[in-house]
Structure 1
Amino acid sequence: MNSTTRALRCCAAGVVGAVIGLGACQAPELAPTGSPAGPTSSAAPTASTTPTGTPSTAATPSTTTARLAELPRGGRTLFPHYRLVGYAGAPGSPALGRLGVGDLDDRIGELEKRAGAFASGRTPQPVLELLSTIVQETAGRDGRWRTRLSDKVIQEHLAAARRHKAILLLGIQPGRATFLDEVKAYEKWLQQPDVGLALDPEWAMQPGQVPMRVFGHTTGREINEVTAWVGSLVAHHQLPEKVVVVHELAPNIVRNEEVIKSRTGVALIKSVDGIGSRAMKEDTWHKLTTKLPQGMRVGFKLFFEEDGEFGPLMTPAQVLALKPTVDYVLYE
């Protein structure tokens, strides 16, 4: 079995488990955690009432009465000061990643320790990559083949992230929805200074396609639509730089990548997600990072279980030796 086929089957198994755990359209209910600490209110953000192509103009912060919001560990730009190190997953679904295993605060504490090994002259910045829009095996009422976590679950993960000065990324597997529509659905969360995005185009289906039967894909144009919208949101609300990750495991997952534009206020990261041995993963890395759009940063994903079937998990030293320099390390 080649690495691409294996990746699809591993991901499909995880999504099936998540759908069983979540139900067709119902997100899990978790016990409330403590009040979040950080630059914003502990209450859940108020939903936007503007479903248009541009972000809502409500609640604009005043530079004369309030200090501009910063990143969880200070400053308003991410690189080169920080190196992001994250856990991916969804609550109650270990198959989707380490973030969904056991107590959330325990996992973040574990992540904090792991992140220290990737410092190498930078400040480690923990990241929680919460799979928020999840593909499912059925079309659903709207025919989009995806479901979303509840606001309650997202709020609890944001509260936990703030207790540990971490960044929360909302992961999106869009099914037959568009990335931009899914991103807009999370506008009230993205108005927060410590919330970003992780796009997974492997699960972006075309008309007639069904998740877990074929690989999806996206285009540079669609990514530009998302980053333009996010950049506008950042500018309007005077937010610190916001992370947008694009996961990619093969060259055809993002087509016409050369047209991708750099946006002020957006830290765009390509995360290389191939499964396999060190040699296999490094081969995928070189294929996907040889020609990068201007301004695009790079990330590297490690799979505790799937990579482990091919041999020892790559060490922090081996990951840090990759060129170009890795800015985001994600564990699943």
Structure 2
Amino acid sequence: MSARSPRLLALALVPVLALAACTPSDGPDAEEAATEPETATQSETATEPEVRQGEVHEPAEASTVLGGTSPAAVATSTSQSLFASAPVVVLAGEEDLAGQLRGASAAVALGAPLLLTGDDAGLAAEIGRLGAEWVLAVGAAELPAGGAGVAPDDGASGAGEDEDEDDAAGSASGGPVLVRAPQSDDALAEMLGMNAGGVTSADTGTEITHVAALEPGAFTPLTPGAAAEPATTGGEDTAADAAEAETSTGGTTGAGSESASPDSETGTLPPTEPAEALAGVAVLTSGEAAQVAAVATARSAGAQVEVVPGGDPRATSETVQAIAALEAEHVVALGDAFGDAEAVAWRTATAATGVELPGGGQLVFPGKRYVALYGTPSTTALGVLGEQDVPATVQRAAEHAAPYAELTQDTVVPAMEIIATVAAGQAGPDGNYSNELAVEDLRPLVEAAGEAGQYVVLDLQPGRASFVDQAAIYADLLALPHVGLALDPEWNLGPDEVHMVKIGSATSEEVNEVVDWLADFTRERNLPQKMLVLHQFQVRMIQEVSEVDLSRSELAVLVHADGQGGQPAKQGTWATLHANAPDIEWWGWKNFYDEDLPMLTPEQTMRVEPMPHFISYQ
């Protein structure tokens, strides 16, 4: 709880001072006189204003998304989610950003919800549910039609419970009292019973950040940047209204002042203090200015607020580490950008691990480009990964990636694509025309790459086996956060087919089996997003590519154009594959040392349109 204001402490000290001044030292009436200060003290104590406090509660579910078609709806639903009751609510206009910022400052200081006009029925119902007895209106905000007659719910401490009290809340109809916020920060601070901190200018785009930084029980006035309109008072002379607010109570509008009528629009508020903070509750916001009121309410309730641009807490190193530090038991996400409650739950659980991908954050893209060596450590015949030992391979991968760092503003991540199952000319003991390398043979290179901050993709050439069955063999390696998967349909055979007779292919159904398996695997283990690479140099290699499931955000699906030969032919294949899969967002390009005529330099590779996201060397 916040400390009681200095003015309230002063009120409490009055009886003590009276006692010191009135106690007699001697005389025949000393005994009788000695009882008088005690009576006076009791009388003074009886008139001390009651300090009001709202009641907060944890959300009903561990993960909640508060969507809505309007800022007013999100503000109301946030109040419903976090507050059980509130003696005071703050009200601002839905179209008045300046008023919302000012209202946020007052609401967090009071520990009160900030509601918005725009949904009369919802606003009136929420004021009633909260049992609010006072409404502090900022700017032009007005109670909904008939709002003055909104009575608190039964069981709430509402107006009219003790009509003999001088400070009984509520209008004659039993509803909340409308108190107009003065325009002066000092006057508003006095009304709130506290000192005003320095004024903070919230420039366009930073409003949520400033509101999220407000501390309950402290008044820090927020003012918008030049782009926002100032708060108004419904077309009246704002200076005159401010003066009226400051003078209507004989020079003070502070809580506990007895000279103002409680029915006056420039009247007083009761002494209040924030409720106990909601420990273990985190509120996520996408940072839109439309969420100012909702974020203010979250801070009023003592919830921690984290700004998550784009709505995915895995997106950046900053959001991942912030979520990990919160250790929240309940998460409330504001707005539709976060998806549904299930998505919020597993993405937040993933971010809470604090484990990051090479290059930062827990998403493969955007903001990163990968430069990879291709091959397998078992032989020099299939690429450069088999041409040197593990330390030299890690160093070579870093050296290949280095020139690209100067060619893009994105983070360049060194990588390796390791052929884990190698297409075979013979059926082999298992009859599947594929040789599966042992996990323990691959582990030294995979782990060394991870320690060096490099990404690894395990490539499958399944022959007559299924992609999913072969992927499962490497579950221990895929459980590492920096390891993804690649499917090579060229080497995917039908029941009666053999390699080198025809180019293999995969159906979208086969690909989607892997999508589901790998996405579930990733989610169940709270792993960062995984890259799923689909190799292709002919359109027919991935049948019905438009039906590949791109909806699982546990994965980043990338089509890798790995054709070889002359550059005009390669560029033609690149364009054709793009035209055939317009929904694919991430693309890979392969440079062949010996087969390309000529092999592109890093500068030439980065001039390919569109610029590749994954570049491999074989």
The answer to whether the superposition gives a TM-score over 0.5 is: yes
1:217·1:255 contact (CA, 8 Å) conserved in 2? yes
Aligned equivalents of 2:403 and 2:578: distance in 1?
23
1:158 and 2:446 are equivalent in the alignment: yes
Shift of 1:281: 1.1
1:243 and 2:531 are equivalent in the alignment: yes
Instruction: Give the aligned partner of residue 586 of structure 2.
Output: 297
SS at match of 1:94: coil
Shift of 1:213: 2.1
Could you tell me which of 232, 252, 256 is aligned with 2:544?
256
Shift of 1:312: 2.6
Letter in 1 for 2:542: V
Could you tell me which of 489, 511, 519 is aligned with 1:231?
519
SS at match of 1:118: helix
Shift of 1:68: 3.3
Could you tell me which of 541, 554, 560 is aligned with 1:265?
554
SS at match of 2:381: helix
1:102 and 2:388 are equivalent in the alignment: yes
1:133·1:172 contact (CA, 8 Å) conserved in 2? yes
- TM (normalized to structure 1)? 0.77
Aligned equivalents of 1:92 and 1:193: distance in 2?
24
Instruction: Give the aligned partner of residue 89 of structure 1.
Output: 375
Match runs of 1:1-332 below 5 Å = 67-119=353-405, 120-262=408-550, 263-292=552-581, 294-307=583-596, 311-332=597-618
* Alignment CA distance shift 1:295-1:289 (3 Å): closer
Shift of 1:268: 0.8
Per-residue CA deviation, residues 189-216 of structure 1 (Å, 9 max, x unaligned), is 2121111111110000001101122211
Shift of 1:295: 4.5
Per-residue CA deviation, residues 137-166 of structure 1 (Å, 9 max, x unaligned), is 211222111111112212111122123111
SS at match of 1:96: coil
SS at match of 1:270: strand
* Alignment CA distance shift 1:201-1:109 (3 Å): same
**Which runs of 5 or more residues in structure 2 are unaligned?**
1-345
Work out the percentage of aligned pairs sharing the same amino acid.
33
Aligned equivalents of 2:383 and 2:568: distance in 1?
23
2:586·2:613 contact (CA, 8 Å) conserved in 1? yes
1:298·1:327 contact (CA, 8 Å) conserved in 2? yes
Aligned equivalents of 1:127 and 1:178: distance in 2?
26
Shift of 1:314: 0.8
Letter in 1 for 2:353: R
Shift of 1:72: 2.7
Choose 223-232 or 180-189, whichever is displaced more.
Answer: 180-189
Instruction: Give the aligned partner of residue 111 of structure 2.
Output: none
Letter in 2 for 1:107: T
**Whose radius of gyration is greater, 1 or 2?**
2
1:243·1:269 contact (CA, 8 Å) conserved in 2? yes
Aligned length: 269
Shift of 1:317: 2.0
Shift of 1:73: 3.2
- TM (normalized to structure 2)? 0.42
Shift of 1:218: 0.3
SS at match of 1:117: helix
Aligned equivalents of 2:586 and 2:359: distance in 1?
20
Instruction: Give the aligned partner of residue 14 of structure 1.
Output: none
Q: Which stretches of structure 1, 4 residues or longer, exceed 4 Å deviation after superposition? A: none
**Which runs of 5 or more residues in structure 1 are unaligned?**
1-59
Aligned equivalents of 1:295 and 1:250: distance in 2?
16
Backbone CA RMSD of aligned residues: 2.0
Shift of 1:82: 1.0
Per-residue CA deviation, residues 82-130 of structure 1 (Å, 9 max, x unaligned), is 1011001112422201111122322321221221222311111111111
**Which structure is richer in relative contact order (CA contacts within 8 A, separation 6 or more)?**
1
Aligned equivalents of 1:233 and 1:296: distance in 2?
23
